[in-house]
Structure 1
Amino acid sequence: MQTECFDSGSLESTEEFLSRAYTPMRIGGRPNNTRTRIVRTAAAGLTVDRLAFGYTMSYTANALGKVCLISVHSGTMVDTTDGRHDVYGPGETFLIAPPDRPYTGALHSARYTITMFDPAVLDTVAAAGAHSAPGPVRLTGQRARDADANRRLGSTVAFLRDQVLTGSTAPEPLVIASATQLLAAVALAALPSTARQEEGERVDSRDAHTDTLRRAQLFIEENAHRPIGLADIAAAAFVTPRAVQYAFSRHTDTSPLGYLRHVRLARAHQDLRTADPCTTSVTRIAARWGFAHVGRFAAAYRRLYGTTPATTLRAQD
């Protein structure tokens, strides 16, 4: 995990930093107060930045090549791309621009969080949907569908910022991969996109047989320690993501990703049974197997094993 801090009163230095950290851009601001503070934290393709501008600043920027979500905490941001004048205020989380489009705008004494990830993660997550459309997924709107969607998106950004990308040590790779996919899934649910087809569209399930299920389960069991998703499972089973979903729903009582979570929970259980409680912790073992939220891990563990992970670990003392 990398952390970088920027604090400057120079517009020239700020423009240089922003162009290096995001995309080439030109900025302008009022000269009486040009203080800028930015703290960047990045790990495995996920970037979360905390920014504070004590002045009014305008910007003209090239395409980012990333999904870029902004959560405004104070002040305002104005999107002026293509002649628009869309104002975003405190409590709003929005997409600043499509990854392949330049954008323009202004901010007014704003404090906000920027979260960025690879657009390919949208494709991975969308492939898990029961009505996913073929081809690359695009976010087609910048504002959340409604107030509830906006709150969920903002809360997810805050979770990544305050719980996942925090502390002095890098989170486990599975935690970062799971957290990024969570954010992509919430973004797809919150923002307009091309991810969903019409509900009435028929889906071919001819490959949802037991051979598909066995190949998928074997791949999951052999690769649970890696940051795999539905697309990887389907490719290993030589079928489409939709077909592997149907195979699980037809022949089991879980989904492919549900089975993956079950396998990882079982691996965590084995680690807890054999670990030295003097040298490791429940939190560390949970993170090793992709469980970022220790409370949810403990609840799932108790439902399956009838005891707490801490009790299992202490039993080895």
Structure 2
Amino acid sequence: MEQLLFESRDLGRTEEFLNRAYTKMQIGGVPKEVRTRVSRAAAESISIDRIEIGFEMSYDADPLGKICLCEVTSGTIEDHATDGWQDDFGTGDLAYFAPSDRPYKGKVCRSTYTITMFDPALLTRVVGAGRKGNTPVRLLHHRPHSPAAARHLSRTIAYLGDEVLANPAVQASPLLLASVTQLLASSVLAAFPNTAMTDRDDLAGRDARPTTVRRALAFMESNLDQAIGVAEIATAAGVTVRAVQTAFQRHLGTTPLNHLRQLRLAEVRAELQAADPSESTVADVAARWGFHHHGRMAAAYQELYGELPSTTLAR
């Protein structure tokens, strides 16, 4: 878990920090007053930075090596250009700021904004194999496909930055880290047009058979304590992600990840039933099985078993 806080009123120190924290860049302009504040929460290959630039600053930066999203909360970012396009961003705008392998430039005008960065491989990992040529998944446009999609992604980023990445328990649990990265990558793919959306899998219907479900279930039940997602489940079943999703919907009326969640809730219940209330807590047990949002876990548990997990532990 990485926590970082930088504050400065010196232009040279600010430029040195930005070069060290992001990528090699040059800051243009000679402002009369400099005010910079950056706070970071990070885990694994994800970082979420809240940034305040209290002056007008132009920038010319090398590629970041990561996917970069930017959400403006005040002020403006103007003349931002990368990968053959240019745009301006104001309060409330959320954008795919720069591809991982492209330089970018623009101007920050007394702005506060959130920068979210992550490994591009996360997108491909969530989608899994079975695309044409097995090529990496790419985002196709720098703005979300709808305001509703942008709002959903914004809420996800805020939740991860405010509650999840600041929680020390996340770093201690591989399952929690996996669920966090999957949540962010899935939310990004749902918000932005991408190459995975344009792929067509004609074999999905043919492969959505009961044998696909059986192979997937066997893999899931043998790896409940491992950081697996729908891509790994599909690979183990020998089909594409679309095929395994179709098979679960057709034969079980649910999704692979929902079923995986139910299997892990069963493990939580078994552990709570065997635990000593004076030595264990619901939060600790839930974290061991990959549940980072206690309220949602408790609601799902109650819906499945008719009681709260705290009641199971107490009894």
Query: Structure 1 length as normaliser, TM-score?
Result: 0.90
Give secondary structure in 1 for the equivalent of 2:28.
Answer: strand
User: 1:113-128 to 2 correspondence within 5 Å?
Assistant: 113-127=114-128
C-alpha distance 144-207 of structure 1, shift in aligned 2 (>3 A) = closer
Q: Distance in 2 between matches of 1:297 and 1:79?
A: 44
User: 1:29-108 to 2 correspondence within 5 Å?
Assistant: 29-81=29-81, 85-108=86-109
Contact 1:48/1:161 (CA < 8 Å) preserved in 2?
Answer: yes
Output one character per residue of 1:56-81: Cα deviation in whole Å (capped at 9) or x when no partner. Answer: 11111111121211121111112431
Moved more, 13-22 or 49-58: 13-22
| 1:198 Cα deviation after fit | 7.0
Q: Which residue number in structure 1 is paired with residue 278 of structure 2?
A: 278
User: 1:1-317 to 2 correspondence within 5 Å?
Assistant: 1-81=1-81, 85-127=86-128, 135-167=135-167, 170-171=170-171, 172-197=173-198, 202-315=202-315
Give secondary structure in 2 for the equivalent of 1:139.
Answer: coil
Give secondary structure in 1 for the equivalent of 2:100.
Answer: coil
Contact 2:131/2:199 (CA < 8 Å) preserved in 1?
Answer: no
Contact 2:143/2:192 (CA < 8 Å) preserved in 1?
Answer: yes
Structure 1 alignment gaps of length 5 or more: none
Q: Distance in 2 between matches of 1:71 and 1:279?
A: 43
Relative to its length, the structure with more helix (as a share) is: 2
Q: Distance in 2 between matches of 1:254 and 1:54?
A: 49
Contact 1:164/1:176 (CA < 8 Å) preserved in 2?
Answer: no
How many residue pairs were aligned?
Answer: 312
C-alpha distance 89-277 of structure 1, shift in aligned 2 (>3 A) = farther
Q: Distance in 2 between matches of 1:190 and 1:243?
A: 22
Contact 2:220/2:260 (CA < 8 Å) preserved in 1?
Answer: yes
Amino acid at match of 1:81: A
Moved more, 283-292 or 34-43: 283-292
Q: Distance in 2 between matches of 1:280 and 1:9?
A: 48
C-alpha distance 246-170 of structure 1, shift in aligned 2 (>3 A) = closer
Output one character per residue of 1:214-244: Cα deviation in whole Å (capped at 9) or x when no partner. Answer: 2211211121222211121122223322332
C-alpha distance 222-204 of structure 1, shift in aligned 2 (>3 A) = closer
Moved more, 39-48 or 174-183: 174-183
Q: Distance in 1 between matches of 2:314 and 2:191?
A: 42
C-alpha distance 10-219 of structure 1, shift in aligned 2 (>3 A) = same
C-alpha distance 158-252 of structure 1, shift in aligned 2 (>3 A) = same
Give secondary structure in 1 for the equivalent of 2:48.
Answer: strand
Q: Distance in 2 between matches of 1:132 and 1:312?
A: 44
Q: Distance in 1 between matches of 2:125 and 2:182?
A: 8
- Once the two structures are aligned, what percentage of the paired residues are identical? 49
Q: Distance in 2 between matches of 1:189 and 1:304?
A: 27
Output one character per residue of 1:39-71: Cα deviation in whole Å (capped at 9) or x when no partner. Answer: 122111111111111111111111112121112
C-alpha distance 219-202 of structure 1, shift in aligned 2 (>3 A) = closer
C-alpha distance 218-26 of structure 1, shift in aligned 2 (>3 A) = same
Amino acid at match of 1:272: L
Structure 2 alignment gaps of length 5 or more: none
| 1:167 Cα deviation after fit | 4.2
| 1:206 Cα deviation after fit | 3.3
Moved more, 89-98 or 178-187: 178-187
| 1:286 Cα deviation after fit | 2.1
Contact 2:248/2:256 (CA < 8 Å) preserved in 1?
Answer: yes
Contact 1:26/1:60 (CA < 8 Å) preserved in 2?
Answer: yes
Structure 1 residue ranges (4+ consecutive) displaced by more than 6 angstroms after TM superposition:
none
Output one character per residue of 1:86-140: Cα deviation in whole Å (capped at 9) or x when no partner. Answer: 2212222111111221111111111111111111111233349xx9765321111
Contact 1:71/1:112 (CA < 8 Å) preserved in 2?
Answer: yes
Give secondary structure in 1 for the equivalent of 2:196.
Answer: coil
Contact 1:132/1:197 (CA < 8 Å) preserved in 2?
Answer: no
Contact 1:229/1:257 (CA < 8 Å) preserved in 2?
Answer: yes
Q: Distance in 2 between matches of 1:308 and 1:4?
A: 37
